[in-house]
Amino acid sequence: MLLLSFIISCAQSKQSNTSTSKEDTAAEKEVVVSAVYYVSGLSQEQTMKSTGAKTTYFWSVSGYLYQTWKWEGSGKSNVVKWGSATFSISYPYSFSFSINCSDNQISEVTLSSTGKVLNSEILDSGCGSVATELTVVSNQIFIITNGFKQVTTTTSTNADLITTYTFQKSSVYNKDK
C-alpha cells in the first residue's frame, strides 16, 4: 500500500473539492513560488483500521525527482514533473522502488490561499499513473524555508495513510531566482 500511495501522489490524480468556505477559494496570488523543486524527503504514517496500530515510515531518497511550478493566475499553477529517484526503507522491512519521469508529466494544480489543493488535473500523463483503491481525503501544501511540504491523507478499506513529501528549491535550476 505504501508504494501505491506514493505513485498516486506522483501521478496526481484528478481531485476536486466542492466546499465553498472562504479558505477554499482559489488563491489570488502565488502560493508555491514559480521555480524548480526536487523531492528531498518522504515519510508516511499508516494506521490500520482493524487494530488502530500506527507505523511510521521514513524513506531515503536517491536521485532527483523534480517539479517545475509556474504560476498561471486564479489559483492555478502549471506543474511539470521530471527526473528520476529511488525511494528506500529498511524498517520494518527492506523495500525500495524507483520512479522514472523521463517523459514529463504535466498537470494543472489549483490551490487555495491556505495551500489546500482544490483541484488537480493531469494534462499529459508522462511518467504514468496507477489505479488503486485509495481515496484522497485531503491534500495540503505548507510553505517551508526554501521549499514546501505536501501532506496527502488517503484512506482505504484497511488503513488510513498520511504521506508527507518535502520539496526543496533546486540550486542548480534556480540560479537566477
> Which is it for strands 54-73 and 35-48: parallel, antiparallel or unpaired?
antiparallel
Residue pair 100/127 in contact by the 8 Å Cβ criterion: yes
Strand partners, 88: 60, 96
* Residue 65, pLDDT above cutoff 70: yes
Residue pair 33/65 in contact by the 8 Å Cβ criterion: no
Give the whole-angstrom CA distance, residue 177 versus residue 175.
6
91: which DSSP letter?
S
* Residue 35, pLDDT above cutoff 70: yes
Give the whole-angstrom CA distance, residue 61 versus residue 164.
13
Average pLDDT over residues 12-17: 43
* Residue 41, pLDDT above cutoff 90: yes
Strand partners, 109: 77, 120
More confident residue, 18 or 91: 91
Residue 94, classified by CB atoms within 10 Å of its CB into exposed (0-12), middle (13-18) or buried (19+), is exposed
Which among 85, 138, 130, 88 is positioned nearest to 111, based on CA atoms? 138
> What tens digit of pLDDT does each residue of 85-142 get?
999 998 778 999 888 998 899 999 999 999 999 999 999 988 866 667 889 999 999 9
Which among 87, 53, 58 is positioned nearest to 160, based on CA atoms? 53
Q: Band of the pLDDT at 1, cuts 50, 70, 90?
A: very low
% of the chain surpassing 90 pLDDT: 70
Task: Please provide residue 26's backbone torsions phi and psi, each rounded to the nearest 5 degrees.
Answer: -60, 140
Which among 20, 44, 18 is positioned nearest to 154, based on CA atoms? 44
Three-state SS for 12?
A: coil
* Residue 3, pLDDT above cutoff 50: no
What average pLDDT does the structure give for the chain? 87
Query: What local confidence, expressed as pLDDT, does residue 176 receive?
Result: 66
